[in-house]
Amino acid sequence: MSEPERPPSHYEKGLASGFDDAWHEEWWRQMEETGGNIIAAMRMRMVSSSADGIVMEMPIGPGVRQGTGVFAAGALIQLADVAATSACFDAMHAADPQTEVLPFPLAVQVSSSLLRNTDRGKVIAESRVVHSGRTMMVCEGKVKDESGRVLCTVTTTHLIVKR
């Protein structure tokens, strides 16, 4: 007798739906129900997930803007960090798709180079895993504006923590 098939995770449902608006509303609602989360507060959105990595975006708004009207540097780095963490989760899930509770890829080092900024539209983070070890993962990423200009580059190192 075979084991019952586990129901798809919220993330797997997102992959199937193309991370549509309904998926994001449910994602943010779940975060807010448990006390809130920077992802929901900054309205970060998952755009795509593939073997090439993760793409996420974040709109300009009062919660991510600094005094001069452009994106706060911390908001750009936060988006890159969330994209990198998601890329780590994706790589771990691909390596072991039946695991229900994956370890958490805790960022222990974040290095960024801030090159330019923008005061409009949204920013897009792309991140990919460049090293996937048993206890550490490393990601490289870029945050771009809507015209494709690189705003910052980010490298993250993640400690794989059992939950």
Q: What is the pLDDT of residues 142-156, one digit of tens each?
A: 999 999 999 999 999
The per-residue pLDDT for 102 is 86
Q: Which residues sit opposite 113 in a β-bridge?
A: 153
| Token code pair at residue 114 | 């801030």
Position 7 scores a pLDDT of 76
CA distance 28 to 39: 8
CA 54/CA 117 separation, integer angstroms? 21
Q: What is the DSSP letter of 133?
A: -
- What local confidence, expressed as pLDDT, does residue 44 receive? 96
Calculate the alpha carbon distances from 104 to 54, 116, 137, 160 in Å.
17, 31, 11, 6
Helices (H), 34-115: 38-41, 73-95
Q: Where are the domains of the chain?
A: 10-161
Q: pTM here?
A: 0.92
CB 41 within 8 A of CB 63: yes
Residue ranges in the chain modelled with pLDDT below 70:
1-4
**Class for the domain spanning 10-161:** alpha beta
